Amino acid sequence: MVKIEIKGIDQLIAKLNGDVKAIGRAIRNAENTTATALRKVALKETTRVFNIKESRLKKDSRGRDTIFIRRSSPTNPGATITFRGGDSPKSGDRPGLQHFKTDKQERNKKEKGWTPTVQIRRGGSVESVSDAFYGVGKLKGQGIFQRQPNIRKIVRRTGPSIKQMVEHAEVLPSVKAQGVSIFRQKLIEAIGKQLAKK
């Protein structure tokens, strides 16, 4: 359990004179607006650390949303942000390596001796994908495909999932820290709106 202590707001809450409904509305509004703002922060922080476009983080290869917000309500308090993906290629959405590419070659170019290069993290090492090529698979879509040694099998290569990138040590602490600051500001604004209605 994570306890977030917010100082300096108790005076504002006191002005609501114990109006439980107004206080509840203010807190729920603050939770929901913080979740929306934090979604943007998470995307920005992820693209700061990883060499991937924000548009690919928002949608998977089939155009489905990758980030979901469960909003706070009177019966189910507390907003939650969920990022799709898992630790293995079968457990969720993982962007193909072509989204981390560094070369300027055409994606379908099949030139002898040419090897696609990728950079997962900004400032990280540039890696060559041996025995690989850009292509379009009938079932797996466009991407970087790699021939497996000694067997007649071609595998589509992927990078980390959205969830793994957001949970990275250089991303998550910054998102959490900004979340505390955003929640404080949103709560002050929400309480102010409730006071204005009185």
What does the pLDDT look like over 25-72, one tens digit per residue? Answer: 888 999 999 999 999 999 999 999 999 999 998 888 778 888 888 998
pLDDT of residue 9: 65
How far apart are alpha carbons 118 and 132 in whole angstroms?
Answer: 12
Say which residue, 74 or 137, is predicted with more confidence: 74
pLDDT of residue 111: 59
* pLDDT, tens digit (0-9, with 9 covering 90-100), for 68-126: 889 988 888 888 898 887 777 666 578 888 888 776 655 445 556 678 888 999 988 88
Amino acid at site 31: E
Q: Return the closest-CA partner of residue 190 out of 41, 36, 77, 31.
A: 31
Q: Three-state SS for 80? A: strand
Q: What is the pTM of this model?
A: 0.80
How far apart are alpha carbons 198 and 190 in whole angstroms?
Answer: 13
The pair phi, psi for residue 65, each rounded to 5°, is -60, 145
Contact 102, 94 (CB under 8 A): no
Compute the chain's Rg from CA coordinates.
22
pLDDT of residue 3: 41
Looking at the predicted structure, is the pLDDT value of residue 133 above 90? no
Confidence of residue 1 (pLDDT cuts 50, 70, 90): very low
The pair phi, psi for residue 95, each rounded to 5°, is -60, 140
Tell me, rounded to whole angstroms, the distance of Cα 197 from its chain centroid.
Answer: 36
* pLDDT, tens digit (0-9, with 9 covering 90-100), for 149-198: 777 788 888 899 888 999 999 999 999 999 989 998 998 888 888 877 76
Strand order in the sheet with 141-147: 132-137, 141-147, 154-156
The owner of tokens 């928002």 is 58
Confidence of residue 2 (pLDDT cuts 50, 70, 90): very low
